[in-house]
Amino acid sequence: MPARYQVVVTDYLSESGPEKKILDDIADLTLLQTTSENDVIRRASDADVLLVYHDMKLTDRSMAALSKVRAIIRCGVGFDNIELESAGRRGIVVCNVPDYGTEEVADHALMMMIAITRRFLPSNQSVRDGKWDPQVAFGAPRLRGRTLGILGCGRIGAAMALRGKAIGMRVVIYDPYKPDGLEKALGVERIARLDDFLRQAEFLSLHCPLTTETKHILNARTLALLPQGAYVVNTARGPCIDGAALVQALDAGHVAFAALDVVEVEPLADERIRKHPKIVLTPHSAFYSVEGFLEMRTKGAMEARRLLTGEPPRNPVNLHALTDARCRVM
């Protein structure tokens, strides 16, 4: 066993206080503060573990170059920025932190849904412009009794379903990968076919991971299946929605309003989305609270410690592709 392990944080962090509390006795910590794969290849050649946030993409090229890396911890839920199969072929276990910001993202999705329904931002702007006209909110529907569709019912989707129920909405879910009976546990309805689900979703909240199956799961065809005047909220992954198709559906009036915490390409460069009067935007911040961010960092560092000290990881996501693992996984 080496005297000191090397743990490298690729992106996002400018200090490492929480990580040091957990790893300082066994590892040296380096903050790269980069989103460049070339930088990672050049500066992390001695790394045993990488801690990666959502701005950093790791492809086959970096997996091949980082011959010492035994594990990559994606500090967050989604791991579509890491090539799982490439890592697995080289014995690198990839883990995520799936249970840190459930409440925050669900709260954010609910907030966005209420904001666009109650015309919160136009009302605020109207008052700031010197007006006092309640008609700016006219057309807002009552939420109680309306149908909220949850697309993807993992931890966050389930939390959003419970929030929808709490304000009196009828909640339907679509998730072909969850076991039978989840809907009974939540007290909601489950719809087996995507098209049938979308036809009922007056309010649609996305909570699915980004996969080849879910990329552009909302496109021109599927958006057209939503009820006339539907509301769309996305706190999952930007590419789950075809941005051009969403703009067209908003311009046509088929979708009333949309609220997006994530977009296809981040940072946002699409001016059609940035300036659209019927889209409310937040900058991929749904995950954040003081407590949630600390929880994410702590759990990511704890996973790294487990892997470095010979314990199996809690949340591996590429066991299906893993061969000749460089560390213990079971």
Catalytic residue numbers read 237, 266, 284
DSSP for residue 210: P
> If phi over 0 gives left and psi between -120 and 50 gives alpha, with beta otherwise, what is residue 216?
left
Task: Please state, in angstroms and rounded to a whole number, the distance separating the CA atoms of residues 162 and 266.
Answer: 30
Task: Please state, in angstroms and rounded to a whole number, the distance separating the CA atoms of residues 15 and 50.
Answer: 15
Burial class of residue 324 in the structure, from the number of CB atoms within 10 Å of its CB (0-12 exposed, 13-18 middle, 19+ buried)? exposed
Burial call 176-211: b when 16+ CB within 10 Å, e when fewer: eebeeebbeebebebbeeeeebbebbbbbbbbbbbe
